[in-house]
Structure 1
């Protein structure tokens, strides 16, 4: 990102010129309800957006992101869930534009990893009081991702969780849906090769994280979206009851050990093989199958974060 403005210059430009464009996914959990509130609060905060776009048809999301970027903003403000924000990350990666995040989804993993307020007013306030930071970008083969690649039960859960249940319950909709799938789910064997060392495990669920959160709960106390590494970890083992127990513990307490003490494999690049070959959920999109090579691109994306965010 050496051809870009410095982070300080970029922050100053956003706060001085207020050149922003806005895209809100009105199909997200809170997008439809809050779209006009988003626009109103931005105007009240002194912004006159170069574009104000709502996404009613998810198939047009990429087109509308391109339309917004064509106006030449310093800050692209995007409202939606993690899938929407992952698409936005791919659009702004390695470009001289920062991403402003409005967390309007169910789990809001990406926003949580950035330390953003989850309320609308607080998130908008960050655009005026925060700073530009460079965070890591994950790559699954040639597909960028912001937060997580997952394998196993969660891939089926993502395809079967009911939209009305997400709207009603929020985050608990995912573990509840998992309970209906787990009895018939078969474990798989995974092989993770990192720096020449091959790790083998039998599990129902494997995650490889770039961000700090999964399902709205923190993966580990000391994980970061800005430390230049990916973290692989399983939930449970090959035993369904153990997976169920760990899922319920996380859902009720959100507790995880540190990277040093937990069941984690950490590295800048990983080769994942599974038996049998499996589909991958990459930030909410199921398009890849194992074997997959995953790596991290340090400082691959510019985002607007609270001033308290530790930018390495």
Structure 2
């Protein structure tokens, strides 16, 4: 007898979680003998539900929510000896993981593709004592974006992130980072550091076009420029997929490392998969092909 668990974040996607839950449940019930639906009410619920599903050895876990909810499920599964297959129904504001995997961003289309989906083993990242599957952001822009509230996201969607990010974009403040990446030590002044597992970062699907979610690497981009003009020059390169090769950025791929601030009096908080993360320093490691996910049958990822 096969069993699956459906985890729904009802506040994601303009609070449309409940609207699509019935269709998701009906579809997944056609794939498994038994489906249990779990609805989150607070942060951390999805992690608890996913961990319990792994311990119960269910065949699959499906998560309906944004990148933060997906992250919680990854954290719940990552340390378990047995890890169920994971399916994503994107319902958040940015949905980077769904974009990177070629999963339809329309929830109904994402649900209807599940019966024909195939599976793929994907990398995840470990950061300190937690995990991530999308991106870690450090600097002024993620500091501003973390202040975007649920009401703003419901009313404005991804525009809410753009508005807050644009305010920080013009800020000239930068930080002195010490980057220990595999066997290389780099000191870099930067206003923004990103560590990604996929090509899609913040909704820009070609931010790191050569990054693959199963290539066994973490990908770091640090913005070098301090002035507004330096940052403005980078915009078309981000859009065209050339940010990693730009003179205005530092790019490295690595398997393990440490990111710290050289000024011990500076306290900087990271943003992990869209939610507030750890204060620096960060200890990072890639876990190759650690999670098995459902992806569209014809995806190139």
Which category of TM-score, normalised to the shorter sequence, fits these structures?
0.7 to 0.9
Deviation at 1:153, TM superposition (A): 1.5
Asked whether 1:62 is paired with 2:52, we answer no
When residues 59 and 270 of structure 1 are mapped into structure 2, their CA distance, relative to the original with a 3 A threshold, is: closer
Instruction: Please tell me whether the aligned partners of residues 51 and 71 of structure 1 are also in contact (alpha carbons under 8 angstroms).
Output: no
> In structure 1, the residue corresponding to 2:12 is in which secondary structure?
coil
Measure the CA separation in 2 of the matches of 1:190 and 1:168: 36
Residue by residue over 1:140-167, the C-alpha shift from the partner in whole angstroms, topping out at 9 and shown as x without a partner, is 1232111111111133223212333322
Question: 1:65: Cα distance to partner?
Answer: 3.4
Give the aligned partner of residue 4 of structure 2: 20
- Three-state SS of the structure 2 residue aligned to 1:224 is coil
- Structure 2 residue aligned with 1:12: none
Give the 5 Å matches for 1:89-128.
Answer: 89-93=74-78, 95-128=82-115
The partner residue of 1:275 within 262, 267, 279 is: 262
Distance in 2 (alpha carbons) for counterparts of 1:201 and 1:66? 38
**Which residue in the other structure is 1:208 paired with?**
195
Tell whether the 8 Å contact from 1:99 to 1:302 is kept in structure 2 after alignment. Answer: yes
Aligned pairs for 1:153-302 within 5 A: 153-182=140-169, 186-218=173-205, 219-235=207-223, 237-243=225-231, 246=234, 249=236, 254-257=239-242, 263-276=250-263, 277=266, 278-302=268-292
SS across alignment from 2:242: coil
The residue that corresponds to 2:65 in the other structure is 80
Aligned to 2:117: 130
How far off is 1:260 after superposition?
5.9
Q: What is the aligned residue count?
A: 291
> Structure 2 regions of 5+ residues with no counterpart?
none
Cα deviation for residue 77 of structure 1 reads 0.7
Shift of 1:230: 0.8
Contact 1:50 1:71 in 2 (8 A): no
Whether the 8 Å CA contact 1:126–1:304 is kept in 2: the answer is no
Q: 1:92, 1:302 within 8 Å by CA — same for their partners in 2?
A: no
1:40 Cα offset (Å):
2.7
Does residue 51 of structure 1 match 2:36?
yes
Aligned partners of 2:58 and 2:84 also within 8 Å: yes
**Pair 41,81 (structure 1): closer, same or farther in 2 beyond 3 Å:** closer
Partner Cα separation in structure 2 for residue 74 and residue 92 of structure 1: 13
CA distance in 2, matches of 1:41, 1:271: 40
**1:92–1:99 CA contact under 8 A, matched in 2:** no
Distance 1:72 1:19 in 2: 9
- Higher mean displacement: 174-183 or 137-146: 174-183
Structure 1 residues 190 and 211: alpha-carbon distance in aligned structure 2, compared to 1, 3 A threshold: same
